[in-house]
Chains A and B, each alone.
Chain A
Amino acid sequence: MSNTEQTAHKVCWSCKGPVEASALFCETCNAIQAPGQLDHFTRFGLEHSFAVDVDAMEATYLKQQQKLHPDRFASRSGREQALSSQQAASLNEAFETLKNPVARAHYMLRLAGHEPEGGEGHTVNDPGLLMEAMEMREALDDADDKITIDAMIKDTRKQARACEKDLGAAFDSKSYDAAKKLATRLRYLMKMTEEARAKKSRLAAA
């Protein structure tokens, strides 16, 4: 982290002394602090980049939960319990958002001041994508054996991988319009994979 910036301070609720605004614990009295306005990437000490090493991030997540989770504060004061619950919830939110590539893309778009497509009214105006999605859905409807569905799942997953790569490039070059489209495509691909899986278990159950 950069050392030249001035660090913002607030008052520690416990020892009433100064504490860094983003600190999890007071460096003087060790009391747990309220979660600040940390963005999700900073929470995990990550660059603002779409390419995230999820396993490494999970290791950081677990290490932080070890310190912040309410179970660590079960015999502490009510205030500490409440703060720990807030901290653990913020950490969970950060992890869940960055873990999932679609949520991560949407989050990065919002950070950059762009509203992702299809959030509220589900309006997507990419005829190519809509066509593709329709074809995939038809193919899924027609598929009635495990092998065909497995092949479809494999294919959509491969496409999703490629799409994630493109998304990384789009964010790197700050091409947010492209990123928006790609995020929508990725969302469709994930949804198709999910539907294919659901159909597979329906077939298996029948």
Chain B
Amino acid sequence: MALLKIHEPGETPLPHEDERQIAVGIDLGTTNSVVAISNSEKPEVLRDKSGGNAIVPSVVYYGDDTPVVGEAARDQINTDASRVVSSVKRLMGRGLDDVKSVAGTLPYHVEVPEKSETENGEPMMVRLNVGNRVLTPVEVSADILRSLRTRAEESLDQPVEKAVITVPAYFDDGARTATKDAAKLAGIEVLRLVNEPTAAALAYGLDNGAEGLYAVYDLGGGTFDISLLKMQKGVFQVKATGGDAALGGDDFDHAIAEHLLAERKDGGATDDLDASDAKRLLKAARTVKESLTDQDSVEVTVPLNGKETKHSVTREQFDGMIAKLVARTTTITEQVLDDADVLPEDVKGVVLVGGSTRVPAVRKAVADLFEQEPLSDIDPDEVVALGAALQAEALTGGSDNLLLDVTPLSLGLETMGGIVEKVIDRNTPIPVAKAQEFTTYQDGQSAMMIHVVQGEREMVDQCRSLARFVLTGIPSMAAGAARIRVQFNVDADGLLTVSAREETTGTEQEVAVKPTYGINESDMATMLRDSMVHAREDMEMRVLTEARVDARRNILAVNAAMEADRALLSKEDEASINQAIANLETAMAGEDREAINDAAEALENASRPFAEARMDSRIRQALAGQNVDEVH
């Protein structure tokens, strides 16, 4: 029998031209966002029409017309501050409880939902009052994504519907889901959510042919992330990750703003700030901070409540104000090194990411901790988007490189007494599937509450509650006799699905929970209808593409089988199979999904006798004691 030259397992043929749509990489930052594209592993950022800045401030202005995103929106802070939304990423997937802790740091009104949970026990997402609109963080993020999509389409001069979007490694499940929802609203299919430090490592590693253990230290406007990666022969393996989803340059701005207010108070001013004043003050503080990166001292004038005050801030003063914040990042870094059982000197290089790593005190702290000068030969503002673009190319066009990521936080269940039983530990490689068995603790207990939490602490109320559901219909049994299997699945995007089932009896019950943070299917449908995007057409196009992908695979499979076992193929079967293939190919050239599916089914029917013959033949060989390996 002739040996057939087939692809190596896993070395899949590249997708067909018509299915290979263009895919971009998006760094959806707290402060700034960037979109990039990669061709032949050469990523580049996409600039605005005039070829100017790659950075789009993650700021949206909700005036009377369509929302304005970016630089132009930020300029409105001076004129119409109450309608400007910034740093919304801090609220992604946040519920009532979280808002209490960050509300003071946000320059706009956050509406606290009346109830903290939906009737399904899901935490309610916060809403923002902006001008006369009420918006969820997901909608604001969708406006930013939409503007990035437009930028990409204008710059590439073709439609863009697919993207890899980056998220902080430390983002929990709620925030990840919220990000995916935002993309959906913006008409973008998310090929993969990739962790920001991992994306940065990819961009850096491919550019430098790095091998060994690297740390990625990412301090942006609102989040801190530290990841430890092993890079070897095209595999980027995350060993451990940690961070703080609410620590960044914004906090430095606050420190300066408080300092300025304190000085004004000493000078006799009584400031009662409204939200607009606060926004303007923070904007001034930020300018001071950024200037102190290159200068030893900065003069600033603060005009508030009709009283203008002049201040001078030195680098030394600033370093003092942020010392505690910087120390928090190094403590978290040490914890991550410990988690991975690694000493600072084992780390071959430290990659700096994020605008706040420009602060000299931050650079010094990192250099001191690792006892080496950190690397920053790729622009820290662009490196994440460049990595995302590389990954987008890899996912659509194939690649020799692979990213292996981990869960940032432990996942568990509430057990008796409010204690958390961990099911998946933090830093477990994903995708991961794990099951745990529980039992009933009362005779005849017919239902069981399943409460899913995320976090490192021992007690449920110190962890983040992701979802709660009740498994009902447990047959009557003595306490301890039921076997309830709770299954956790975390996919390659880091998203969790949980299901539960009683196993001792034939009665099976399965409930799947996806924490959604308050955007349920019907809200989503309404938002999609309201959005300007042709979401429905996008959806239909996607389904059609999928039908074609399936059909093409079917044809390849049948052809391969005919090549391999031609001896088992009767003339009539061959003729009818070939006819069915031809019909399917015709259907695939059209736009009718049903026609494609029907033709695919016809092919399956036509090839059934042949498939059965192949199966029979193999069984006969096995019965004859002949080993299959010897046939080849």
Please report A residues at the B interface, Cβ cutoff 8 Å: 3-4, 6-7, 9, 11-12, 14-18, 20, 24-32, 62, 65-80, 85-86, 88-90, 92-93, 95-96, 197-198, 201, 204-205
Bound: A90/B433 CA distance, A: 8
Q: Is the CB of B560 within 8 A of A96?
A: no
List of A residues within 8 angstroms of B615 by Cβ: 9, 11, 16-18
Query: What residue in chain A is nearest B559 (Cβ atoms)?
Result: A29
Q: Is the CB of A67 within 8 A of B557?
A: no
Known: A28-B560, A31-B557. A71 touches B431 (CB 8 A): no
Extra pairs beyond A74-B396, A92-B431 (11, CB < 8 Å): A16-B561, A16-B607, A24-B10, A28-B557, A62-B237, A65-B404, A74-B192, A76-B12, A77-B549, A77-B550, A86-B433
Query: What residue in chain A is nearest B331 (Cβ atoms)?
Result: A205
List of B residues within 8 angstroms of A204 by Cβ: 334
List of B residues within 8 angstroms of A70 by Cβ: 431, 491-492
Q: Which 4 A-B pairs have the closest CB atoms?
A: A67-B10, A16-B611, A29-B557, A25-B9
Known: A3-B627, A25-B10. A17 touches B614 (CB 8 A): yes
List of A residues within 8 angstroms of B524 by Cβ: none
- B interface, size bucket: 35 or more
**Which of A17, A75, A88, A201 is the one whose CB lies under 8 Å from B19?**
A75
Q: Is the CB of B564 within 8 A of A28?
A: yes
B428 within 8 A of A: yes
Q: Is the CB of A65 within 8 A of B235?
A: yes
Q: Is the CB of A85 within 8 A of B491?
A: yes
**Which of A9, A17, A62, A88 is the one whose CB lies under 8 Å from B565?**
A17
A-B contact count (CB 8 A): 158
B265 within 8 A of A: no
Known: A9-B622, A15-B557, A15-B611. A71 touches B402 (CB 8 A): yes
Bound: A167/B15 CA distance, A: 50
List of A residues within 8 angstroms of B608 by Cβ: 16
Known: A4-B627, A6-B625, A17-B614. A92 touches B432 (CB 8 A): yes
Bound: A89/B431 CA distance, A: 5
Q: Is the CB of A92 within 8 A of B429?
A: yes
Q: What are 9 A-B pairs at a CB distance below 8 A? A: A9-B615, A14-B554, A14-B557, A15-B561, A20-B628, A29-B557, A66-B234, A86-B433, A92-B431
**Which of B334, B402, B553 is the one whose CB lies under 8 Å from A201?**
B334
B335 within 8 A of A: yes
A10 to chain B, nearest CB (A): 10
List of B residues within 8 angstroms of A15 by Cβ: 557-558, 560-561, 611
B556 within 8 A of A: yes
List of A residues within 8 angstroms of B629 by Cβ: 3, 7
Q: Is the CB of A71 within 8 A of B395?
A: yes
Q: Is the CB of B549 within 8 A of A75?
A: yes
Query: What residue in chain B is nearest A69 (Cβ atoms)?
Result: B402
Query: What residue in chain A is nearest B13 (Cβ atoms)?
Result: A30
Report B452-509 residues with CB < 8 Å from chain A CB. 489, 491-492
B438 to chain A, nearest CB (A): 11
List of B residues within 8 angstroms of A86 by Cβ: 433
A184 to chain B, nearest CB (A): 20
Query: What residue in chain B is nearest A19 (Cβ atoms)?
Result: B618
Q: Is the CB of A18 within 8 A of B432?
A: no
